[in-house]
A and B are shown apart, each in its own frame.
Chain A
């Protein structure tokens, strides 16, 4: 049972794509997943409407109600809760990070995007949460470029997720069709990337929430 905040002050980083597909991967693994859409543009909610009730479920939330909704959703059986946040929104991002066990910061591996995540990194660090940058929409094979981008991110004092979501048409086509990449192309590379990232987030969230339980017991 864990809550993941997806935060990036930069637009177009792939927050909603990451949110809905991670939630779908959780559902596929047998966990009840819920996406809390705090973006006034309601992209995730629109995608959910196209799906006519198919899981993962998406609900909206104004920033002040995020914490209460996470608590209520847990009580109603949600195992994986993913909070999608809008860009340029300090209130929604702050509230989402506060309530999250794990924070994922999607970021394109480009100079402009890398420079723009500094504010997001600062927010995550100030709130004392574990944040990981996930590279999105970059080339699928460019080891040197990812090495350099990762070194820059580490110099900001934040971790880099070992899994990436690369620039693949499947993400765009699946979203436009109201599908997840796991439904659109179950054996495709995009589905594989999402499954890998999901497994990794579960393992990490477990260590974090497990540590909370341990410290509470002491």
Chain B
């Protein structure tokens, strides 16, 4: 019946009269993904054009948006006479 269920991220949703999907693996709510441990979020609100340009630039450079932001922040630190911090 289902040809592509193996490709879904989450168990495929079913109707109420069908068997319940497998319970997701439980994870403590406080547990952070490893990439976020010991780190802080920096965010801002920009125009859609800026968001799009940054995403496309990151894709072209083959890096994540976060890596591109780190590059920009280090550049601006140098511009203002500060030492770059790295990632």
Contact = CB atoms under 8 A, between A and B. Distances in A.
Partners in one complex: yes
Interface of A: 9, 32, 34, 42, 45-46, 48-50, 52-53, 57, 59-62, 65, 69, 72-73, 76-78, 90-91, 94, 98, 119, 122-123, 126-127
Main secondary structure of the interface of B (DSSP, over half): loop
B22 to A, nearest CB: 15
B2 A57 contact: yes
Interface string B1-34: 1111101111011110110000000000000000
26 contacts: A32-B3, A34-B4, A45-B12, A45-B13, A48-B12, A49-B13, A49-B14, A50-B15, A52-B14, A53-B1, A53-B14, A57-B3, A57-B4, A57-B5, A59-B8, A59-B12, A60-B8, A60-B9, A61-B8, A90-B55, A94-B55, A98-B59, A122-B49, A122-B52, A123-B52, A126-B56
A195 B5 CA distance: 27
B49 A119 contact: yes
A94 B57 CA distance: 11
A47 to B, nearest CB: 10
A129 to B, nearest CB: 13
Contacts of A72: 7
A52 to B, nearest CB: 4
Contacts of A62: 9
Contacts, number: 68
Nearest to B51: A90
Contact of B4 (A59, A91, A94, A119): A59
Pairs A-B, 4 closest by C-beta atoms: A49-B13, A59-B8, A90-B55, A52-B15
Given A49-B12, A52-B15, A59-B7, 20 more contacts: A34-B3, A45-B13, A48-B13, A49-B15, A50-B15, A53-B14, A57-B3, A57-B4, A61-B7, A72-B7, A73-B4, A76-B4, A78-B3, A90-B55, A94-B55, A94-B59, A119-B52, A122-B49, A122-B52, A123-B52
Contacts of B86: none
Contacts of A48: 12-13
B36 to A, nearest CB: 16
Contacts of B51: 90
Q: Give the interface centre of A42, A60, A65 by most chain B CB atoms within 10 Å.
A: A60
A130 B83 CA distance: 45
A73 B7 contact: yes
